[in-house]
Amino acid sequence: MIRTANPADVPVIHRLIRDLAEYEKALDEARATEAQLHEALFGDRPAAYAHIAETPEGEIAGFALWFLNFSTWRGVHGIYLEDLYVRPDLRGGGHGKALLAELARICVDRGYERLEWSVLDWNAPSIAFYESLGARPQDEWTVYRLTDGALAELGRGAV
């Protein structure tokens, strides 16, 4: 079962984000707090949205955290999937596919024309899963990121 996350889910989402960061070998980079997640998802101006996958027994199996983006070429919003994670002991049960199907349904219902996300190059199981659904890599683009000191320097006009 897929449902929209609610404020009571924040501690579990936070734990699963940390589990995902550990799987991606970057736990030290996962600095978000429960309070930050609560504000981003349920504050006065939500910046992100989340859906929860549950087992038939009501156990949280995984989550999808996403936000809106906008295509200047298409002239409409799309969804950028920031995180998709299903607990390892519950993988293979259709939870990941159901989460992606829910986001695709939202896109179709709202007239959004893109559902996009990033995947680590070494994550072969996830790549195979995404391609089995018809997703294709956008290998003509390279992602760039400013963070930490470089972001601060540019923001201060020091560069």
Q: What is the pLDDT of residue 145?
A: 87
Question: What's the mean pLDDT in 110-137?
Answer: 94
18 versus 148: the higher-pLDDT residue is: 18
Q: What is the pLDDT of residue 141?
A: 87
Catalytic-labelled residue, pool 23, 49, 130, 144: 130
**Straight-line distance from the first to the last Cα atom of the chain, in angstroms, rounded to the nearest whole number:** 49
For residue 156, give the DSSP letter.
T
C-alpha dist (Å) from residue 19 to 16, 31, 83, 142, 146:
5, 13, 11, 26, 24
143 versus 83: the higher-pLDDT residue is: 83
CA distance 96 to 111: 23
Burial grade of 148 (CB within 10 A; 0-12, 13-18, 19 or more) = exposed
Q: What is the pLDDT of residue 100?
A: 97
Q: Cβ neighbours of residue 7 under 8 Å, at least 6 residues apart? A: 38, 41, 42
Mean pLDDT of the chain: 95
Residue 130 a catalytic site member: yes
Question: What's the mean pLDDT in 9-17?
Answer: 98
- The rounded percent of the chain whose pLDDT value lies above 70 is 99
Contact 102, 66 (CB under 8 A): no
What's the whole-model pTM score? 0.92
